Structure 1
Amino acid sequence: MKKALIISFLRYQVAAIIATMVDFFVLIILTELFNVWYVASTAIGAFCGALTNFIICRYWAFVNSSNNLSNQIVKYTLVSAGSLVLNTLFVYLLTDFGGVTYSISKIITAIFIAIFYNFTLQKYYVFKQ
């Protein structure tokens, strides 16, 4: 594996962890303190996490990207929309049909989406070098 790929993967993981913390924080605050329906809280949290992730990835994780800002915003929006739909859908399915609590559903979903969807599309599509 190339050194540059490993570095971008590790930097992306740091960005993803920070974004996930923002995502979870918003989810839990909205659901537990403001009694917002967990599905809506999941979507709002995912949006806040996506915004955090974009900023960190653009300016730190994938700094050598050849795409300009407006191009990245469009591509990131498409990838994030897919991620938001997948996150919300999987949390709903695991919680309502799988009998898993929403917080555990969110953890399982976040790991799955991060590994199989987000990094790959951000590295090779959004922040392509």
Structure 2
Amino acid sequence: MAFKLKEFLKAQLSAFVGGLVDFGIYSFCYKVLLISAPFSNVVSGSLGAVVNFTINRYWSFNNTTVPLANQLWKFIIVVAGSIFLKSTGIHFLVDVWGLHFLLSKGIVELIVSLGFNFTLQKYWVFKK
């Protein structure tokens, strides 16, 4: 059980680092470049995903025995689904309900990251 908890915590740290990159780029796109919140999320989520994949492959799940391409295509599918879910959630929270763009991003990130991303990455993308 301790090994699984350790792996979970490492994956959460990886998600946090990727999330910092994501939030920084999201804020920059939205506030400086004046890009819509949902599209800012697409840009930032894509770049944050690169960071997250790299950390997960080499550290969190430590699975480099499976060829990179086999993991990458699965990860791209997960990221596409994640970005879709997050952008849709952000659209509703920001554009429909008028919540603050960062609060909206935080709420959606938490729900999608724990319920969707971690599960698919552990049991499908980086499965040993």
- TM-score class normalised by the smaller sequence: over 0.9
Q: Which residue of 1 aligns with 2:2?
A: 3
Amino acid in the other structure paired with 1:43: V
User: Residue 51 in 1 paired to residue 50 in 2?
Assistant: yes
Matches within 5 A, 1:6-85: 6-64=5-63, 67-85=66-84
Unaligned runs of 5+ in 1: none
C-alpha deviation, 1:3, in angstroms: 1.9
Q: Which residue of 1 aligns with 2:126?
A: 127
Structure 2: which amino acid aligns with 1:9? F
Question: TM-score, normalization: structure 1?
Answer: 0.94
Deviation at 1:97, TM superposition (A): 1.9
Asked if 1 retains the 8 angstrom alpha-carbon contact of 2:37 and 2:94, the reply is no
Q: Name segments (4+ residues, structure 1) moved above 3 Å.
A: none
Tell me the secondary structure at the aligned position of residue 99 of structure 2: coil
Aligned length: 128
Deviation, structure 1 residue 68: 1.8
CA contact (8 A) 2:85 2:112 kept: yes
TM-score between both structures, scaled by the size of structure 2: 0.95
Instruction: Please tell me the residue identity of whatever aligns with 1:75.
Output: K
- Rounded Cα–Cα distance in structure 1 between residues aligned with 2:64 and 2:87: 29
State the match for 1:108 in structure 2. 107
Query: Deviation of residue 65 (structure 1)?
Result: 5.9
Give the Cα separation in 2 of the matches to 1:79 and 1:66: 20
Q: Distance in 2 between matches of 1:90 and 1:79?
A: 16
Q: Percent identity?
A: 34
Q: 1:91 to 1:23 in 2, by over 3 A?
A: same
For the residues of structure 1 that align with 2:32 and 2:82, how far apart are their CA atoms? 25
**DSSP 3-state at the match of 1:9:** helix
Does the aligned pair in 2 maintain the 1:31–1:37 contact within 8 Å? Answer: yes
Give the 3-state SS of the residue equivalent to 2:51 in structure 1. Answer: helix
